[in-house]
Amino acid sequence: MRPIVIAANWKMNTTPADAGELARTIAGRTRVPGVTRVICPPFVCLAAVREALAGEDVAVGAQNVHHELAGAYTGEISAPMLDGLATWVIVGHSERRRDAGETDALIAAKLGRALAAGLRPILCVGELLEVRDRGAAAAEALVAGQLRGALEPNAGDALAGGTLVIAYEPVWAIGTGRNASGRDAAAMSEAIRGVLSGIAGLGSGQDTPILYGGSVTAANIGEFLTEPAIDGALVGGASLKPDEMAGIVGRAGVTAAARLATTA
């Protein structure tokens, strides 16, 4: 059974002074069996969050990683620098692709560094509004290209530890006034697994968790988690609100229990 994962992406929010308390509060309110919880704070808050979560079954993740191990890269953070601070990392987030111009080749290099360092990657893929408006086939083709670009150079490493997680971000449904449905996300998740099955070294793709990452809230998470192809969520703004996180993780626990019951 694939794990149910709820990952919190705090983006450029919180400071070392308040991040620990927020992480502690969220951890305390989301102790739900069967759900893998991850909190990804800003780099400057990693130590505070790690210390606050001591004794809790909540992983800490970084929001990005550099594609080189060291060098003249002012302001960047390499995989070795995350040792002891994080065990997960987000790679290829839509905002990094948009704002930093990250290409599939660069994301592949970052993914390789993360895997080599023993970090569990959440690889983000997804299409823009203009692509979605050309139809589902165009959207699936773009996502397939993102997957192949990132994974084909790393397929053996990604498979070796069984650590790969994919987050599908329908960028067209974030801040546009248009909503993705559970059916939309499930269809793309199935398409993603089809691509994974075609990449040498990744097996069938059926063991890879796929998360939904488009404006997730406690109110809409149920629509996505009722879909068997979806295994959790990458949560943005709502992850800064303990009430929202409690609702999201609580609903994820219902899905986890239901899936466990069907395999018993």
pLDDT at 211: 98
Assign residue 70 a region: left if phi > 0, alpha if psi is -120 to 50, beta otherwise? Answer: beta
Instruction: For residue 10, count CB atoms less than 10 angstroms from its CB and return exposed for 0-12, middle for 13-18, buried for 19 or more.
Output: buried
> What confidence tens digit (pLDDT) does each residue in 112-138 have?
999 999 999 999 999 998 999 999 999
> What confidence tens digit (pLDDT) does each residue in 218-244 have?
999 999 999 999 999 999 999 999 999
Q: Which residue has the higher pLDDT, 64 or 203?
A: 64
Tokens of 153: 């150079």
Residues in the chain: 264
> What confidence tens digit (pLDDT) does each residue in 134-155 have?
999 999 999 999 999 999 998 8
Confidence band for 216, pLDDT divided at 50, 70 and 90? very high
pLDDT at 204: 77
Tokens of 92: 């290829």
pLDDT at 159: 65
What is the identity of the amino acid at 53? L
> Mean pLDDT over residues 51-62, rounded?
98
Residue 36 pLDDT greater than 80, yes or no: yes
pLDDT at 65: 98
Alpha carbon dihedral 253, 257, 258, 260, in 10-degree steps, equals 140
Pairing state between β 210-212 and 88-91 = unpaired
Delineate the domains of the chain, giving CATH numbers in brackets: 4-263 (3.20.20.70)
Active site residues: 93, 169
Kindly tell me the sign of the dihedral angle through the C-alpha atoms of 180, 193, 89, 24: positive
Taking residue 105's Cβ as centre, other Cβ atoms within 10 Å add up to 12
